[in-house]
Structure 1
Amino acid sequence: MVAYADVIYTNGEIVTINDANPAAEAVAVTAGRIVAVGDRAAVEAHRGPDTEVKDLQGATLLPGFIDPHSHYLSALTVVNQVNLFPPPAGPGADVESILTALNDFRGARAIPAGELIVAYGYDDSAMPDGRTLHKEDLDADFPDNPLVIGHVSMHGAVLNSAAMRLYGISAETETPPGGVIVRKPGSQEPDGLVMETAFLPIMAAMPKPTPTQEIEWSIAAQQMYASFGFTTAHEGLSHAGDIALMQRAAAGGATVIDVIAFPFILELDAVLTDNPPETFGTYRDRFKLGGVKITIDGSPQGRTAYFTTPYLVEGPDGQQNWRGEQGFPQTTVDDWFAKVYALGLPLNIHANGDAAIDMLLDAHAAAAGDDPGKDRRTVAIHSQFVRADQLDRFVEYRIIPSFFTEHTFYFGDAHIRLRGREQADFLSPVRAALDRGLRATNHTDFVVTPLDQMFLLWTAVNRVARSGEVIGADQRITALEALKTITIDAAHQYFEEADKGSIEVGKLADLVVLESNPLTVDPMAIKDIAVLETIKEGRTVYARS
């Protein structure tokens, strides 16, 4: 006897992301799972007296989007922060517009003197004529409010004098290894910009939500992800307190979509106290620990990514022949790999520059022993300036590159200036990776760039910079290949391909409805496609008004 469906979707374009059955006329869902996919007559056999028939009205149905890498916890707080992205994502075009946005935010919220104000998205590489932000720019209007103006890389911030006092940074503060505290020329007086290991204590000290806010903000954050078609979100670097917060929020009802978190290696022992290795990889209240995160270097646009050759400009503090620097010594990274592999946990490694990727590969080879090609789902997060020979080692070691093609638009022009045309054209080389048989994924690194998945697809397919210049035309991929990086191959990254990533019988009914089909519109129009509905296990969790 055929089981009756709870809902049947029909009368639209259905893109299954299943190569064996790429399109269908209808899909049936029962108890949160897909029970039939195919021609309408066959699927209609599952229609019962209480079955809801959803008329897609010509819209496109796809598997829900799976986030390969972002910072989900940032979504809990950005509603209480100032957006300083440069246009078109925000108002931060120059120093004057940044100050206007900060003043407008303070006035609209009636923020009193002494209260901390946090912003995100400041992009020094997009500032006109190289005029960057200094603490004096902020002190004039904000002598009493500590300001933390988050760098777009999420690896640092510009602080005003009040924030410097709050976090104990002065001329006497030594710059830690792997850190950056930019100084005034000819002195030790901090200029404002603090990055990498010098920024870690500040990031850890950021205000946390109250117990009541934990649930409210978590639900709002998940709804934000759902509005962009996500049914699975990623928290890419979690402290022990962050893990506990997400677990409490999930138990309290923040279960709109799935959330996967990767504890930071420096916090792993504390996390393991309450979360032994055998609990990783299993959802509880739609939250799970996915593995462990290691950070090797910084950001290329912030000039803190670690390269084998010098930048074409000076370093962030005026350094000459600057190659960036590793956040931690090779021996430390080797020990971390060995520890995580011994625990049998997946590993995500932030590595942007080719020297950082060399460190990643060497650490893997040392820790993997006689089985370097074991299917560990080790992921090289960003892999922005990976070399062709390093991609070959990715194949040998079964390392998954998770690329960041939005850099081609947001920072492509800056990368040409900082690294040169040849390296910029091989930025996030998805085509080269796919041609080698790698199952690459693609991400936003939110809040480094917005969550917009249609814009992400657009950058992978077109690779057009702000200036209109194409960055690496030979690394463009098709719309279908781009969709796979955020559906079936993202599911594979998390060992979830049996349950997610394609519209197939037996899989979860995690779905998204788009107003147009990315496979058939003009490639330049992909970014303009709207998300109409997001469905998590058969239940609508977002619908466009």
Structure 2
Amino acid sequence: MKKIIPHKNNRCVSTRASRIFKKRHWAAVLILTAWQACAPNTNDSSSSQPTATVYFGGDILTMEGETPEYVDAVVVKAGKILFTGAKEEAVQLAGTDYEVLNLFGKTLLPGFIDAHSHYINSLSVANQLNLYPPPSGPGEDVESIVRELRRFKEEKGIPDGQLIQAYGYDDTVMPEGRLLNRDDLDAALPNNPVLVGHVSMHGAVLNSAAMKKWDISTATETPPGGVIVRKPGTNEPYGLIMETAFLPIFGSLPLPSPEQELEWSRDAQVLYAENGITTAHEGATHLKDIQVIKRVSDAGANLIDIVAFPFITDLDEILKEFPIESWGKYHNRLKIGGVKITIDGSPQGRTAAFSTPYLTGGPAGEENWLGELTFPQETINAFVKRVYDLNVPLNLHANGDAAIDAFITAHETVAAEDPGRDRNVTLIHAQFTREDQLAKFVDYKLTPSFYTLHTYYFSDAHLTNRGKDQAMYISPMRDAIDRGIRPTNHTDFVVAPLDQPFMLWSAVNRVSRSGEIIGENQRVTVYEGLQAMTIHVAHQYQEENVKGSIKKGKLADFVILDKNPLKVDSDAIKDIEVLETIKEGKTIFKK
């Protein structure tokens, strides 16, 4: 029996009452209830659910091929794509028991695949204060940050002594260079440890109570590859702590309790789903993180797929609990995808490693500052060799051109016998790639995952810190594509907000906060930008056979947009809305 269900009516949906980071407390309850309603009833053999679904009535963009290809209809059965083609043939193949979903002129694409973010952090941001600068948050200056922190403590009823966390502090946009420091936080909240995360996620500003909590004092030495900003004229830590000095703090931040794990995880996955994402990336996974993710996965609670990359410093402990034989395949929608190595910091935080000095010095006032590698070259070589010997994919964080040089040196050293063999290496960010380094990417089959959102959020800082020539060449996606590379694109959430249409807009337009075009010759077409969010990311994860395009035999992972990005003005791409996200044939978000 055919069931005709117009797309504009609810079928089995999860409702979101508010936008990103402004979720109401009961959103997780709604999504969990909706998911349970959508879940197959394995105990009821008389279920009347249709066995197939036919999508038609809008632009169905398959993302197959190097130019846009459309089909009239798609048939989904048992979570996979059964057919793409003409509507009449689709209806015939659907059989006698199916439902029809009319798109009413909307656009259906393969679900967006997250090339790089920090999924584990999304579990906690709902309980933290958003201090992104406008338009993403209220943190426009020190005064507004202090005001928001006081309000947050009062509205949440946070008792004295309890840690207060915030995220998104961007020192590059603070008016007149007036930066947040320890004294500001002490004056605002003297009775609570306070940690205000730097927008790079590579550090934070701490107040005195937080420094005491993590045993940071005038006696604390700055570790190699780390930054501890000191109060002028003294050795007192003044608030901002970054890179290797921050790693012990970051590794000890609280995770959800066992009672909270399910709720926080489902709530986090809604953030991804409402942005059209059907596969999320966990980009620097510590042992305790992957233990949380696995417990939630074992409970069958994942709405989306999660690909985790254990951090190199936790690798030995993780291998004891998660043997290498279990990697590379999904278990309850969790896959360990490979290993993550970080070898420099952030350019906006002035901790990325460059071959020429920053024009503005270092974050603690250092002169002739080049930034620093996170680890010595010998250690980087050893880390890379370890991953290559395990024969698993490598995600390597490198922002500055000197960090990219350091990885290329490591690769040429440990893979000297066959440097051109594809070892599934993704260079995360690779923002300040030089043209000569792109040639090496081709020779060594390295995939850059670029970060075009920097052309909007941080390019003004890059122009100041690095100069026009380098700033205009950040994330050189055009040149990479023209060399035959298949780059991907990412948000680095929570460094930048999850907003896939805005990310696409940034790759196509490359316009800064101040309205300046940042590297016009590195703009890409809309279709190329979509490839970097779908089929190219499937290639990055070695999942091209099951994801990334709408093709017979692949998973029915879809996103429905209110407009076709290929058919609107390029500046209007950022205003496109995600209407529905479908994972393996089941709706997991609907606006």
CA contact (8 A) 2:562 2:578 kept: yes
CA contact (8 A) 2:142 2:179 kept: yes
Q: Provide structure 2 residue ranges, at least 5 long, that are not aligned to the other structure.
A: 1-49
1:109 corresponds to which residue?
156
Partner of residue 337 from structure 1, selected from 360, 364, 384 = 384
For residues 162 and 253 of structure 1, what CA distance do their matches in structure 2 show? 40
CA contact (8 A) 1:260 1:288 kept: yes
Question: Are 1:241 and 2:277 counterparts?
Answer: no
CA contact (8 A) 1:84 1:119 kept: yes
For residues 231 and 352 of structure 1, what CA distance do their matches in structure 2 show? 27
2:349 corresponds to which residue?
302
Question: Are 1:184 and 2:227 counterparts?
Answer: no
Question: Are 1:320 and 2:379 counterparts?
Answer: no
Question: Are 1:125 and 2:172 counterparts?
Answer: yes
1:15 corresponds to which residue?
61
Equivalent runs, 1:21-100 vs 2, <5 Å: 22-100=69-147
For residues 426 and 75 of structure 2, what CA distance do their matches in structure 1 show? 34
Partner of residue 265 from structure 1, selected from 296, 304, 312 = 312
CA contact (8 A) 2:107 2:561 kept: yes
Question: Are 1:354 and 2:378 counterparts?
Answer: no
The Cα of 1:314 is off from its aligned counterpart by 1.4
Question: Partner amino acid for 2:472?
Answer: D
Q: Provide structure 1 residue ranges, at least 5 long, that are not aligned to the other structure.
A: none
Partner of residue 453 from structure 1, selected from 491, 496, 500 = 500
The Cα of 1:226 is off from its aligned counterpart by 0.4
For residues 93 and 257 of structure 2, what CA distance do their matches in structure 1 show? 47
CA deviations over 1:357-388 (Å, ceiling 9, x no partner) = 00011111112232212122100000000100
CA contact (8 A) 1:5 1:35 kept: no
SS of residue in 1 equivalent to 2:210: helix
For residues 583 and 225 of structure 2, what CA distance do their matches in structure 1 show? 42
RMSD: 1.0
CA contact (8 A) 1:292 1:347 kept: yes
CA deviations over 1:291-334 (Å, ceiling 9, x no partner) = 00000000000000000000000100110010101110000000
Question: Partner amino acid for 2:547?
Answer: K
The Cα of 1:105 is off from its aligned counterpart by 1.0
1:155 corresponds to which residue?
202
SS of residue in 2 equivalent to 1:364: helix
Question: Are 1:6 and 2:52 counterparts?
Answer: yes
Question: Partner amino acid for 2:114?
Answer: D
CA contact (8 A) 1:5 1:28 kept: no
The Cα of 1:49 is off from its aligned counterpart by 3.3
For residues 188 and 386 of structure 2, what CA distance do their matches in structure 1 show? 48
Partner of residue 527 from structure 2, selected from 480, 484, 488 = 480
CA contact (8 A) 2:392 2:424 kept: no
For residues 480 and 156 of structure 2, what CA distance do their matches in structure 1 show? 47
For residues 272 and 540 of structure 2, what CA distance do their matches in structure 1 show? 19
For residues 465 and 349 of structure 1, what CA distance do their matches in structure 2 show? 27
For residues 147 and 522 of structure 1, what CA distance do their matches in structure 2 show? 44
For residues 232 and 84 of structure 2, what CA distance do their matches in structure 1 show? 66
For residues 123 and 75 of structure 1, what CA distance do their matches in structure 2 show? 19
CA deviations over 1:201-233 (Å, ceiling 9, x no partner) = 100111111112111111111111000000000
Partner of residue 471 from structure 1, selected from 511, 518, 533 = 518
CA contact (8 A) 1:5 1:46 kept: no
1:526 corresponds to which residue?
573
For residues 122 and 264 of structure 2, what CA distance do their matches in structure 1 show? 8
For residues 243 and 356 of structure 1, what CA distance do their matches in structure 2 show? 27
CA contact (8 A) 1:410 1:465 kept: yes
For residues 148 and 232 of structure 2, what CA distance do their matches in structure 1 show? 28
For residues 92 and 412 of structure 2, what CA distance do their matches in structure 1 show? 53
SS of residue in 1 equivalent to 2:266: helix
CA contact (8 A) 1:150 1:157 kept: yes
2:300 corresponds to which residue?
253
For residues 144 and 108 of structure 1, what CA distance do their matches in structure 2 show? 16
With the length of structure 1 as denominator, give the TM-score of the two structures.
0.98
Question: Partner amino acid for 1:77?
Answer: S
1:535 corresponds to which residue?
582
The Cα of 1:5 is off from its aligned counterpart by 5.6
SS of residue in 2 equivalent to 1:46: helix
How many residues of Structure 1 are paired with residues of Structure 2 in the alignment? 541
Question: Partner amino acid for 2:89?
Answer: A
1:376 corresponds to which residue?
423
Equivalent runs, 1:139-150 vs 2, <5 Å: 139-150=186-197
1:229 corresponds to which residue?
276
For residues 346 and 369 of structure 1, what CA distance do their matches in structure 2 show? 18
For residues 101 and 12 of structure 1, what CA distance do their matches in structure 2 show? 44
For residues 526 and 8 of structure 1, what CA distance do their matches in structure 2 show? 27
Question: Partner amino acid for 2:96?
Answer: P
The Cα of 1:253 is off from its aligned counterpart by 2.5
Q: Which moved more, 1:112-121 or 1:15-24?
A: 15-24
The Cα of 1:6 is off from its aligned counterpart by 1.2
Partner of residue 261 from structure 2, selected from 214, 224, 237 = 214
CA contact (8 A) 2:149 2:188 kept: no
CA contact (8 A) 1:215 1:250 kept: no
CA contact (8 A) 1:382 1:404 kept: yes
CA deviations over 1:463-510 (Å, ceiling 9, x no partner) = 000000000000000110000001000000000000000000000000
Moved over 6 A (4+): none
The Cα of 1:75 is off from its aligned counterpart by 0.8
For residues 240 and 429 of structure 2, what CA distance do their matches in structure 1 show? 23
SS of residue in 2 equivalent to 1:140: helix
CA deviations over 1:241-291 (Å, ceiling 9, x no partner) = 111111011111321000000000000000000112221111000001000
Question: Partner amino acid for 1:15?
Answer: L
Question: Are 1:420 and 2:457 counterparts?
Answer: no
For residues 216 and 495 of structure 1, what CA distance do their matches in structure 2 show? 30
CA deviations over 1:377-424 (Å, ceiling 9, x no partner) = 100000000100001000000000000000000001110010000000
Q: Which moved more, 1:309-318 or 1:209-218?
A: 209-218
With the length of structure 2 as denominator, give the TM-score of the two structures.
0.91
Identical positions, percent = 58
